[in-house]
Structure 1
Amino acid sequence: MVPEAAARSALEDAEDALLASRAAEGDVRAFAVLMRRYSRVVRAYVRRVLSSSADVDDVTQDVFVTAWQQLPRLSDPAVVRGWLLRITTRKAIDRVRALRSHVDIDDHDQEAPEWERPDRLHEAASREQAMSVALQALPKDQRRCWILKEFADYSYQDIAAELDVPVSTVRGLLSRARKNMIRAMEGWR
């Protein structure tokens, strides 16, 4: 095997913490592996948040540019995945805000859309908080399966490959995760 190909192969199999540490020190190849590893999750999340698919590529690119710039400040390289998803959330919400039409309230006496009413915004924030708590309460494997299926829209086979478990295990984990999430979210309703 050519030394460069061997190094590339070793990087592909490396843990996130090692890749993030090397990328923070300026290793472009390590950062490229992180991008390949998480670009599907980032794109899927952005696609769910934005209504315009034309903006998905721009926001995804912006997420990775920001990640490259801020990676040296990441205190714990082992949490790079969650850190990337937090950047993704901020960037997607920023894009939604930028695209939202602004109405001059002096010119119009228009009622806020249903989903922008304060009670609806509070309800959405409350639901998001409850879901976050419910997700954190799930066992690690159930949580990973649920996030990959529900947020990243992975297939059962893709989840099995990502977690290196059989598809039947993925089905069982997802079933238990869904039951636990329903039970945990009952109190929110």
Structure 2
Amino acid sequence: MADERFRNALEHADDRIVAGRAMDGDVESFAVLVRRYTPMMRAYTRRMLNASADVDDVVQEAFVTAWQRFSELEDPSKVKSWLMRIVSRKAVDRIRSLRPVADIDAFDRPAPSHTSPDEVVQARAGIAALGAALRELPDAQRECWVLREMGGYSYDEIAEELGIPVSTARGLLARARKYMIVRMEEWR
């Protein structure tokens, strides 16, 4: 009964307490973090990898890395953003490793059944155009654009993630956005 109350209290504790205990090697606390953040990390990774079968592997790798590097977490209350940075890096690494063989057309997802054939054709053409436009961007611009537009990263987080100055991240993102706006004009 006491163990159950402890687990229940741990499930509802704030991140600072749970992460602090996990940093001290408490496996039960780490399991709470896994349960708490796996859905968000999976959703983010799914968007980064275009619903690839690698999503669960990337999230699992991120948690393994987190467990091994808990000593690097400076503020336990920021465990959520720390975990998201780790999973983002793992997803970017996976994208880089797949770059020569990844074909965006292979990730074509069927349109919902309630749409008309014209809407399906239009949606697929728009997705194909977006994929083509993204492939035309230089790697650094594409990474900045994906992290900002799909991952919701701030300029500081993008700079930290890619190991570049914030001013460089802003410039790369501005050029990527300008290109995408011009390139996708007919799809507005």
Q: TM-score range by the shorter chain?
A: 0.5 to 0.7
Which ranges of 4 or more aligned residues in structure 1 deviate by more than 6 Å?
Answer: none
Could you tell me whether the CA contact under 8 Å between 2:134 and 2:142 is conserved in 1?
A: no
User: Which residue in 2 is equivalent to 1:59?
Assistant: 58
CA distances 1:49-94 after superposition (whole Å, capped 9, x unpaired): 1135310110010011011111122010010000111111100010
Could you tell me whether the CA contact under 8 Å between 1:18 and 1:77 is conserved in 2?
A: yes
Given residue 125 of structure 1, which amino acid in structure 2 is its aligned partner?
A: C
Using a 3 Å threshold, how does the CA distance of structure 1 residues 123 and 23 change in structure 2: closer, same or farther?
A: closer
Q: Kindly, what percent of the aligned residue pairs are identical?
A: 43
The answer to whether structure 1 residue 30 and structure 2 residue 29 are counterparts is yes
Other structure's SS at 2:13 match = coil
Given residue 115 of structure 1, which amino acid in structure 2 is its aligned partner?
A: L
Alignment of 1:134-145 (within 5 A): none
TM-score using structure 2 length? 0.58
Question: How many Å separate the matches in 2 of 1:128 and 1:66?
Answer: 20
- What RMSD, in angstroms, separates the aligned Cα atoms of the two structures? 2.9
Using a 3 Å threshold, how does the CA distance of structure 1 residues 119 and 26 change in structure 2: closer, same or farther?
A: closer
Give unpaired runs (5+ residues) of structure 1.
Answer: 103-112, 137-184
Could you tell me whether the CA contact under 8 Å between 1:42 and 1:85 is conserved in 2?
A: yes
Could you tell me whether the CA contact under 8 Å between 1:50 and 1:96 is conserved in 2?
A: yes
Given residue 62 of structure 1, which amino acid in structure 2 is its aligned partner?
A: E
Alignment of 1:148-159 (within 5 A): none
CA distances 1:27-55 after superposition (whole Å, capped 9, x unpaired): 00000001100000000000001135310
Question: How many Å separate the matches in 1 of 2:154 and 2:91?
Answer: 22
Using a 3 Å threshold, how does the CA distance of structure 1 residues 98 and 79 change in structure 2: closer, same or farther?
A: same
Using a 3 Å threshold, how does the CA distance of structure 1 residues 132 and 44 change in structure 2: closer, same or farther?
A: closer
CA offset at residue 116 of structure 1?
Answer: 3.9
Question: How many Å separate the matches in 1 of 2:145 and 2:99?
Answer: 22
TM-score using structure 1 length? 0.58
Question: How many Å separate the matches in 2 of 1:95 and 1:123?
Answer: 15
Q: Which of residues 110, 121, 125 in structure 1 aligns to 2:144? A: 125
Could you tell me whether the CA contact under 8 Å between 1:114 and 1:120 is conserved in 2?
A: no
Could you tell me whether the CA contact under 8 Å between 1:115 and 1:121 is conserved in 2?
A: no
CA distances 1:97-150 after superposition (whole Å, capped 9, x unpaired): 111227xxxxxxxxxx6534456853763685696459x9xxxxxxxxxxxxxx
User: Which residue in 2 is equivalent to 1:81?
Assistant: 80
Question: How many Å separate the matches in 2 of 1:48 and 1:132?
Answer: 13
Question: How many Å separate the matches in 1 of 2:38 and 2:147?
Answer: 23
Given residue 90 of structure 2, which amino acid in structure 1 is its aligned partner?
A: K
User: Which residue in 1 is equivalent to 2:168?
Assistant: none
CA distances 1:159-183 after superposition (whole Å, capped 9, x unpaired): xxxxxxxxxxxxxxxxxxxxxxxxx
Using a 3 Å threshold, how does the CA distance of structure 1 residues 86 and 23 change in structure 2: closer, same or farther?
A: same
Aligned residues: 127
Is the deviation greater in 119-128 or in 57-66?
A: 119-128
Using a 3 Å threshold, how does the CA distance of structure 1 residues 45 and 128 change in structure 2: closer, same or farther?
A: closer
Could you tell me whether the CA contact under 8 Å between 2:48 and 2:146 is conserved in 1?
A: no
